[in-house]
Chain A
């Protein structure tokens, strides 16, 4: 597999480490009364789509940036790859 790094161009997937669903970016509010349940869902509950999936990859053997890669899990087509830091992640903490 190859991942189109937004700064470095097309890179072999072996340069990256996979984390998982991009929902990991939305860390719940730890002060909310339902925080334990929300954190449980945040950590352990995932959809497993056959199709488009937004997921986190770390360019460990490269520039050490975290990317959001949009990949079709059926065809492995990569529809998009962007820097997490360029997407304006909201700080939920």
Chain B
């Protein structure tokens, strides 16, 4: 029911719907206050028992009133009605019920409550074992959770940003405003963040004066002063959710939930705030009281009831009963009475009785007192006292300490470096004291930054007026008393956990799920400690408390991802010939971050194999051109370049003549193969080495490690030039003819033999030419500065038109390397040795190199170990499959009988059949033998014949032609 006053703007009415029904609220309302103003009290169903639930609080601690806002892809489940500012057109709906909210068919769970107590999962679903996957898990998955995701892509925009400041003030209540005001006056760069849309904290909820004016007016005026200061950034609706290392704080700013705004502005921003000092002014949260059936809609925290009455001009009910702490109860009664409510009972320590039970089917209708009286009422405000919000202080594992004076936990020692806690967060509850404490904390922070002697700041002592609740009512009544409303944990569950031995608070939490819901037990954790403390006659301080971890409030995964999703998850690297490939309608494939042409389909080709076979044939019979820029290139220079390369390569590079290239094999220090590539000597002190595409980054890192950490006295320099040079393979018997049209260098076998390299002039552009071959054909790789790459690619095809020059993609490249028996990523998988690859002789025994010692371990040099060999199916019509394991014919498929595996397969257009490469025990001794290739994944078995891995031109006459 709406009453007079409040901080809402009656000139701006807003329409919204809840469960399809239209309502009106005002600018300044939250969804919760607008629902209460319209008399909507039942807003959801509880997690486990599907009990009717209403609005319990007025802040982010809300455990009950979670709804879905928005519809379709825009929808956001599990949204606290208490933290959503109302906007025009807002649509909200309730969650977690089967059928209507009023008549939830799942409510029968409540009747099963005897069986659904703590640990019921562990006890109930244990047998029969086979039922778990078929029956229990699907059942539980259907029943679990509150809201549902749309399943559609989230169309909202999320952003990420970094901020820097001298002082981050967390929380904009009286303490935070005062701290920010003082820090700003002292010249600091200040960020003031608060989760609420309005700064002021409790000042907006209470009727009290501060510095001679109404609290809310003081807050408004101070906020506006801060807003005009150049060194202050105000961040409303921004929750600082985590304290990370070295002064980095995570914060989530919510800008809008309004689908009308769409993607014009981000919905949320994830900020990383770099703060030199932090003043934690996070305030306090009111706790509940446990008594039988304390979860009905209409029962709410007294502080929340005052917020609704004073800030939102909403009476949560007409007939109000109040239970709890003396001073709070009196204040609540006064405020609600002033707003027009009838106070039917005030049950404080002075009262003769207390609440034993409650009644009401969907909402509260009456309370039953311990003395047997029944009081009809529609609202019960409970005030169990206030707990400092100390979550962020524990993010570096600081243990909170118990303070008897305030009857709660306060921040302990070893806070996150640079953090000072002020105000209600350390138990200073009086508003005037909060102002003083905030200012003192600001002065301390700044003198700390300036490395001055600590200022003699007078800091108020933590204090509250005594909080006494006469009876631990949970124990008086006979029904279930809720402790954690969101996870449906009752006092009985806590006692059961204790009885079963889960005594430590951390164990009890996990066994009962207390405090593990989305509200992280903000209203329940300390209540649980009190219930147990009273039952066992110990102080909550002796029981200890669980340590809070980030995040303080739930954060959407989308906010962490920000714009880095889908295509923007990481940068796309395009090859120099990308524009040409796009024009030629290439099909692209992602290789690492690169987008490479996989094949170039021509008119009439309907299957990728047609394109790939054509490209292979064109290369083997004429000339093909492929962009191989993605291979890593590293320039190695300096007087010790040769010695350096001898150390990082298994084979010797110092003996390489200028103008020659050599295949190079790199080992890891554990003796396994790391990478392979070519090493070209362009000058006495200048080599250029290549890496595989996948290892370009890690090999460079490794070489820098060797240079700086293992050979720091070497005169050697490394420059990655992968992106500086566009490099194309020009392969095939006509490649020389084609290139000779482009460059003046004599390319005859005598002048430029196999493995030659050197600088060339490419139509006036300084380039590099290497006579190396991955395809097994007479072949070259030509390199020009990247900006000329696309033009060169087109020029090569133009010049070779009459030679039928053909562009080929990564698929044809792969087919030709398998035909030739070259190892690639499938073979260089980190578990293979030089000997496995048939390259054992490349590991020089004359010199030390990375991996030389451990590559000689007995198991790695076994004569009968795995060897890379070729395979063909004995039935030429069948296709081989990669991943198949080799067995003796007729042998059982067991680990003992495993002889190796197929690593790469392809259809060879040159041979007209399927071929494969694989590792086989003592493989080179078994050429011609027939084995079984067993592929469990695909469910196939076939006979294969062991062959040489070199299917095409085993003698190498083509590449030397």
Chain A interfacial positions (CB closer than 8 Å to B): 1-2, 17, 19, 24-25, 27-28, 30-31, 35-36, 39-40, 42-43, 56, 58, 60, 64-66, 75-78, 83-85, 89, 91-93
Q: Report, nearest first, the 5 A-B pairs whose CB atoms are least far apart.
A: A2-B246, A1-B245, A76-B245, A66-B708, A30-B848
Count of chain B residues with a beta carbon within 8 Å of a chain A beta carbon: 26
Taking a contact as CB atoms under 8 Å apart, the answer to whether A39 and B246 are in contact is: no
The answer, yes or no, to whether B701 is at the interface (CB within 8 Å) is yes
Taking a contact as CB atoms under 8 Å apart, the answer to whether B705 and A19 are in contact is: yes
Taking a contact as CB atoms under 8 Å apart, the answer to whether B711 and A91 are in contact is: yes
Cα A85 to Cα B711 in complex, Å, equals 10
Cα A17 to Cα B248 in complex, Å, equals 19
- Smallest CB-CB separation from A77: which chain B residue? B417
Tell me whether A58 and B711 are in contact in the complex, defined as CB-CB below 8 angstroms, given that A35-B853, A93-B647 are known contacts. no
The answer, yes or no, to whether B27 is at the interface (CB within 8 Å) is no
Taking a contact as CB atoms under 8 Å apart, the answer to whether A91 and B704 are in contact is: no
Cα A76 to Cα B248 in complex, Å, equals 13
Taking a contact as CB atoms under 8 Å apart, the answer to whether A66 and B709 are in contact is: yes
In angstroms, how far is the closest chain A Cβ from the Cβ of B832?
18
Cα A23 to Cα B854 in complex, Å, equals 18
Which has the most chain A C-beta neighbours within 10 Å: B248, B701, B710?
B710
Cα A72 to Cα B709 in complex, Å, equals 22
Note all chain B residues with C-beta closer than 8 A to A56.
Answer: 705, 709
Which has the most chain A C-beta neighbours within 10 Å: B710, B713, B853, B857?
B853
- Smallest CB-CB separation from B852: which chain A residue? A30
Note all chain A residues with C-beta closer than 8 A to B372.
Answer: none
The answer, yes or no, to whether B670 is at the interface (CB within 8 Å) is yes
The answer, yes or no, to whether B956 is at the interface (CB within 8 Å) is no
Cα A36 to Cα B857 in complex, Å, equals 8
In angstroms, how far is the closest chain A Cβ from the Cβ of B455?
26
- Smallest CB-CB separation from B856: which chain A residue? A36
Note all chain B residues with C-beta closer than 8 A to A64.
Answer: 704
Task: Count A-B contacts at CB 8 Å.
Answer: 70
- Smallest CB-CB separation from B849: which chain A residue? A30
Instruction: List 19 contacting pairs A-B, 8 Å CB cutoff, sorted by A.
Output: A2-B247, A24-B705, A25-B709, A30-B853, A31-B848, A35-B853, A36-B857, A39-B669, A39-B853, A39-B854, A42-B669, A56-B705, A66-B704, A66-B709, A76-B246, A78-B246, A84-B709, A85-B712, A92-B710
In angstroms, how far is the closest chain A Cβ from the Cβ of B274?
8
Cα A91 to Cα B417 in complex, Å, equals 39
Note all chain A residues with C-beta closer than 8 A to B711.
Answer: 91, 93
| CB-contacts of B242-256 with A (<8 A) | 244-248
Note all chain B residues with C-beta closer than 8 A to A83.
Answer: 708
Contact flags B849-880 to A (C-beta < 8 A → 1, else 0): 00011101100000000000000000000000
The answer, yes or no, to whether B396 is at the interface (CB within 8 Å) is yes
Pick from A24, A25, A58, A76: contact of B701, CB under 8 Å: A58
Contact flags B706-727 to A (C-beta < 8 A → 1, else 0): 0011111100000000000000
Taking a contact as CB atoms under 8 Å apart, the answer to whether A2 and B248 are in contact is: yes
Taking a contact as CB atoms under 8 Å apart, the answer to whether B853 and A91 are in contact is: no
In angstroms, how far is the closest chain B Cβ from the Cβ of A69?
12
Pick from B647, B710, B848: contact of A25, CB under 8 Å: B710
| CB-contacts of B677-725 with A (<8 A) | 697, 701, 704-705, 708-713
Taking a contact as CB atoms under 8 Å apart, the answer to whether A43 and B669 are in contact is: yes
Note all chain B residues with C-beta closer than 8 A to A93.
Answer: 647, 710-711, 848
Taking a contact as CB atoms under 8 Å apart, the answer to whether B246 and A89 are in contact is: no
Note all chain A residues with C-beta closer than 8 A to B417.
Answer: 77
Pick from B704, B709, B856, B857: contact of A24, CB under 8 Å: B709
